[in-house]
Amino acid sequence: MTFSTVFVAGAGFMGSGIAYLIATKTQARVMVYDIYPAALDKARSVMEKIGGGAVEKGFLSASELAEAKKRIKLTESDKDAAEADLVIEAIAEDLRAKQELFGILDRTVKPQGIFASNTSSLSITALAAATKRPKQFLGMHFFSPAHIMKLLELIPGLDTSIETMDRVRQFGQSLGKVIISSKDMPGFITTRLGLVLINEAAFALMEGLSTPEEIDLGMTLGYNHPMGPLALGDFVGLDIVLHVLDTLYTGFGDPKYRACPLIKRLVSAGHLGRKTGRGFYEYGAAS
Ligand SMILES: NC(=O)c1ccc[n+]([C@@H]2O[C@H](COP(=O)([O-])OP(=O)(O)OC[C@H]3O[C@@H](n4cnc5c(N)ncnc54)[C@H](O)[C@@H]3O)[C@@H](O)[C@H]2O)c1
């Protein structure tokens, strides 16, 4: 069973990719909502760029892209969520902000509408508790860039119904995704494993095991990872890495998730990775 109207909340990096994906892979109307007009403008140009590239490479015809564009509406009004069959939230990784938004949307969206969060680490059960529809609430964790990465991780909260999981699983498959599901524990499967590796690589660097380049080569050439863990940390942003490690540490109460002091030092100095031009590596101008 598919969804006719999808409301994507948060027109940032993930939201724009998710909206483009749904508009090009399904016939759904896609509403992209953000509180900042500038974010909506940026989302429009990001989607134009991705779409133009897809047509150039022959992944999509010009007429298919034109049809997909007609199905996308950018909006600053949460009231446009009223008729949504599916809401996918992709605002900043902040529990309070997400709960507040879900509380507002719960009053706006029709009672049958399903709610999903693209959170990388926060409790789906705690987010669902901000609504009166916990049976129709789940985690729908896309990976960046959302229109390219094959994986979709689904996370049921404590009260998510089997029907909700089944409907969203089918929808995910219609987007061409391979689906894995995880219990609702901090970081689920993917964020937990990925972040532990980045953290351990930072400890290895701090302890002087080797250079950043050689630590990363250990994983790219030794384990066939496409990117080394330190380069990945810089790519994700060390502020986000630190924030998620803190979520794992408090969520599990287990010292194995304590953030490496080197990551804390780099973040305090404002060296957040690629976006500031320096993290574990030096990049020159910010990229
Ligand atoms: N960036 C990644 O690689 C990645 C991967 C998987 C999941 N995620 C998760 O996706 C979510 C979004 O991440 P992102 O990287 O796209 O962030 P982002 O900062 O690029 O985008 C967030 C957008 O949400 C908007 N926003 C903030 N508060 C809002 C509100 N109350 N109502 C409406 N819009 C609001 C902001 O204006 C911004 O445009 C986070 O939960 C993150 O953990 C990110």
Check which CATH number belongs to the domain holding 213 and give it.
Answer: 1.10.1040.10
Q: Single out the residue in 149, 181, 213 at which a domain terminates.
A: 181
Of 104, 55, 47, 56, the residue nearest 79 (C-alpha)? 104
Q: Single out the residue in 159, 181, 203 at which a domain terminates.
A: 181
**The dihedral sign for the CA sequence 145, 59, 154, 72:** positive
Q: Is the CB of 200 under 6 A from ligand 1?
A: no
Residue pLDDT, tens place only, 205-254: 999 999 999 999 999 999 999 999 999 999 999 999 999 999 999 999 99
Q: Single out the residue in 152, 181, 210 at which a domain terminates.
A: 181
| Residue to mutate (ligand 1; options 89, 120, 152; most atoms within 8 A of CB) | 120
pTM, to two decimals: 0.94
What integer pLDDT is reported at residue 284 of this predicted model? 81
Q: Is the CB of 38 under 6 A from ligand 1?
A: no
| Residue to mutate (ligand 1; options 13, 87, 100, 155; most atoms within 8 A of CB) | 13
Residue 272: CB partners within 8 Å, gap ≥ 6?
237, 238, 239, 266, 279
The parent domain of residue 241 ranges over 190-276
What integer pLDDT is reported at residue 282 of this predicted model? 97
Residue 284 lies in a domain: no
Total domain count, the chain? 2
Residue 285 lies in a domain: no
Q: Residue 198 is encoded by which pair of tokens?
A: 């980045």
Looking at the fold, whether 38 and 67 belong to one and the same domain comes out as yes
- Per-residue CA distances from 126 to 7, 90, 122, 132, 146 (Å): 21, 16, 8, 12, 24
Ligand 1 center to 92 CA (angstroms): 4
Residue 100 lies in a domain: yes
Looking at the fold, whether 217 and 170 belong to one and the same domain comes out as no
Residue 285 has pLDDT above 80, yes or no: no
Looking at the fold, whether 170 and 64 belong to one and the same domain comes out as yes
Looking at the fold, whether 168 and 209 belong to one and the same domain comes out as no
Q: Residue 96 is encoded by which pair of tokens?
A: 């309070």
Q: Residue 11 is encoded by which pair of tokens?
A: 């027109």
Looking at the fold, whether 212 and 241 belong to one and the same domain comes out as yes
Looking at the fold, whether 177 and 194 belong to one and the same domain comes out as no
- The DSSP call for residue 135 is G
Average pLDDT of the chain? 96
Residue pLDDT, tens place only, 140-183: 999 999 999 999 999 999 999 999 999 999 999 999 999 999 99
